[in-house]
Amino acid sequence: MEEASQVSNLFFSPPIAGLHMFIALAIVIFSWLLIQRFNQRNKKGPKTWPIIGATIEQLKNYDRMHDWLAEYLAKSKTITVSMPSTTYTYIADPANVEHVLKTNFTNYPKGELYRSYMDVLLGDGIFNADGELWRKQRKTASFEFASKNLRDFSANVFREYALKLSDILCEASTDNRVIDMQDLFMRMTLDSICKVGFGVEIGTLSPDLPDNSFAQAFDAANMIVTLRFIDPLWRMKRFLHIGSEALLAQSIKVVDEFTYRMIRKRKEEIEQARACGIKDKIKHDILSRFIELGDDPESSFSNDKSLRDVVLNFVIAGRDTTATTLSWFIYMIVTHPTVAEKLYDELKAFEKERANEEKIQVVSYDVNDPKSFRDRISSFARLLNYDSLGRLVYLHACITETLRLYPAVPQDPKGILEDDVLPDGTKLRAGGMVTYVPYSMGRMEYNWGPDATSFRPERWFNDGALQIVSPFKFTAFQAGPRICLGKDSAYLQMKMTLAILCRFYKFMLVPNHPVKYRMMTILSMAHGLKLHVSRSM
């Protein structure tokens, strides 16, 4: 007994007990790694580590994350990326996308996690809202976008600002000055959405191109909230008011000052019009419509904070998405001269045909005479309206092909309310996130064939007519109940602008200028789009 006791004491002495704890811990970790390895075989995606998940690989590839995801999705239509806060399932198969965006729509809201990242910028706006609040905003917005008055007004505004942009390019072509086309498009679309959506002129596209603190702060805020998706320390930085979160707070302050000032101005104008009994003077822009809804105390839009959220959501929808698509379009035209020539031929033929219909003589012009050149452009612009732009089918195909490869919203995450199974058999856990990836989907051979990565507008024609593709395959405008309400308006502005620019100007990329995207919710260019521009016959 004594010897047994001594052995027992020796076995359970502190060094031996510590060794046993170490062995037990090693077994637990080894078992966990085996499980992860097993899961890795069943859920394709990057390597996952204890606690931190795939954070290291995501951070290493942050600046090229859309291409990083595309590389994995080319091997598997569904991949899983584990992060410290949640697990993301990325999907590129149209059948899975339809299930998430339509078939089981109610199970995939924006979700609390996504809202926590974006709330500081988008608040309870339509891009960030779920449930009844989202339905109310969508119902109001859909009514406005369906209005013929708004459509006709928008066409006039888009023509006006396209001509202002043309004037700036005309001046730049005189001395072969380098221009940043993305910056000019951002200015044009910001001015346009503020006039169409909110009834105000802000003048960022003035000839002197003034600095705009709102636009700069909005872009900074957009980049920082995107970083939150993979930054596990953002809440701590926000609490301590340091680093990126300190800059975010400064940016939001500037954004809010501009937005609340705009809201107060519109409210004052509406009150003045009512006081004078002049209802015709009350503008019927989108903001005014929401202000009118706010007259009802029970309305969700009875305070300035809710109106602020409406404004900022429409800014990101009407400014950023259109401007980035226009930028990628010009880059595609510059790098694909054969496509550019076909487009130019279509525009010249269109001009001749429309002039004959309107019984207008097409007067020759001198590209070296700015007045003669501008007069011809103005004459051409008058031929452009909602109906006539529909004839420019090759232009439409070029825009759509640009959106296929460079969708304005490159990925769109959704929350998961309840456990579910996708059509391909992938199991989804409640509380996680599922993300469909338009950027990757447009590059997948299993979606678009062996030339998926090629810019080829001809793919959009079938027997000479534009073909309609399922929105669950071509997801640039989302699909299902949340399909983009502004799709027609976006095409209208892009066609109006590009018809004028591509008919009368030639663009050349500045040598060695790097063209790459930057990580934001919108697929903008990291270094802008630096070009030389020249006038064309």
How do the domains of the chain map onto residue ranges?
1-41, 43-535
Res. 519: pLDDT tops 70: yes
The helix (run of H) or strand (run of E) holding residue 81 is strand 78-82
The helix (run of H) or strand (run of E) holding residue 152 is helix 148-174
CA distance 369 to 241: 56
Classified as helix, coil or strand, 506 is strand
At which residue do the structure tokens 């970083």 appear? 227
Cα 297 to Cα 31, 265, 292: the distances in Å are 59, 21, 11
- Report the b/e string of 273-300 with b at 16+ CB within 10 A: beeeeeeeebbebbbbbbbebbeeeeeb
CA distance 66 to 59: 13
Cα 146 to Cα 268, 283, 454, 488: the distances in Å are 27, 17, 35, 10
Cα 19 to Cα 11, 28, 181, 237, 372: the distances in Å are 10, 14, 66, 39, 90
At which residue do the structure tokens 């697929």 appear? 523
Classified as helix, coil or strand, 524 is coil
At which residue do the structure tokens 């799709």 appear? 487
CA distance 157 to 211: 22
Q: What pLDDT digit, counting tens, does each position of 352-395 carry?
A: 999 999 888 887 888 889 999 999 999 999 999 999 999 999 99
Please list, in sequence order, all residues whose beta carbon lies within 8 angstroms of the beta carbon of residue 58, skipping any fewer than 6 positions away.
Answer: 46, 65, 68, 81, 83, 230
Average pLDDT of the chain, as a whole number: 87
Average pLDDT over residues 6-20: 44
Fold exhibited by the domain 43-535: Cytochrome p450 (1.10.630)
Cα 155 to Cα 144, 151, 161, 168: the distances in Å are 15, 6, 10, 20
Q: What angle do CA 285, 166, 491 make, to 5 degrees?
A: 50
Please list, in sequence order, all residues whose beta carbon lies within 8 angstroms of the beta carbon of residue 404, skipping any fewer than 6 positions away.
Answer: 442, 448, 474, 476
By residue count, the chain amounts to 537
Closest CA to 212 of 220, 316, 503: 220
- Our measurement of the distance from residue 139's CA atom to the centroid of its chain's CA atoms, rounded to an integer in Å, reads 22
The verdict on whether residue 502 carries a ligand-binding annotation is no
The model's confidence at residue 24, banded by pLDDT at 50, 70 and 90, is low
pLDDT of residue 26: 57
The model's confidence at residue 465, banded by pLDDT at 50, 70 and 90, is very high
Give the 3-state secondary structure of 236-286.
Answer: HHHHHCCHHHHHHHHHHHHHHHHHHHHHHHHHHHHHHHHHCCCHHHCCCCH
Closest CA to 526 of 289, 183, 59: 183
Tokens (6 digits) for 432: 């996680």
**pTM recorded for the entire structure:** 0.87
The helix (run of H) or strand (run of E) holding residue 90 is strand 87-91
Closest CA to 390 of 448, 465, 327, 340: 465
Average pLDDT over residues 410-422: 96
| Contact (Cβ atoms closer than 8 angstroms) between residue 430 and residue 417 | yes
pLDDT of residue 43: 54
pLDDT of residue 10: 35
Dihedrals φ, ψ of 239, to 5°? -60, -40
Give the 3-state secondary structure of 329-378.
Answer: HHHHHHHCHHHHHHHHHHHHHHHHHHHHHCCCCCCCCCCCCHHHHHHHHH
CA distance 160 to 166: 10
Which is higher by pLDDT, 232 or 411? 411
Q: What angle do CA 238, 240, 245 make, to 5 degrees?
A: 30
Which is higher by pLDDT, 230 or 182? 182
pLDDT of residue 5: 42
Res. 503: pLDDT tops 50: yes
CA distance 442 to 475: 9
Give the N- to C-terminal CA distance of the chain in Å, as an integer: 108
Q: What pLDDT digit, counting tens, does each position of 75-124 carry?
A: 999 998 887 778 889 999 999 999 999 999 999 998 888 888 899 999 99
CA distance 501 to 535: 10
CA distance 204 to 188: 7
pLDDT of residue 7: 34
pLDDT of residue 176: 86
Closest CA to 374 of 157, 168, 158: 168
CB atoms within 10 A of CB 310: 29
The residues pairing with 517 across neighbouring beta strands, listed in sequence order, are 525
Q: What pLDDT digit, counting tens, does each position of 157-195 carry?
A: 999 999 999 999 999 999 889 999 999 999 999 999 988
With a pLDDT cut of 90, the percent of the chain lying above it is 58
The model's confidence at residue 30, banded by pLDDT at 50, 70 and 90, is low
Sequential DSSP letters for 380-432: HHTT--HHHHTT-HHHHHHHHHHHHHS-SS--EEEE--S-EE-TTS-EE-TTS
CA distance 163 to 374: 9
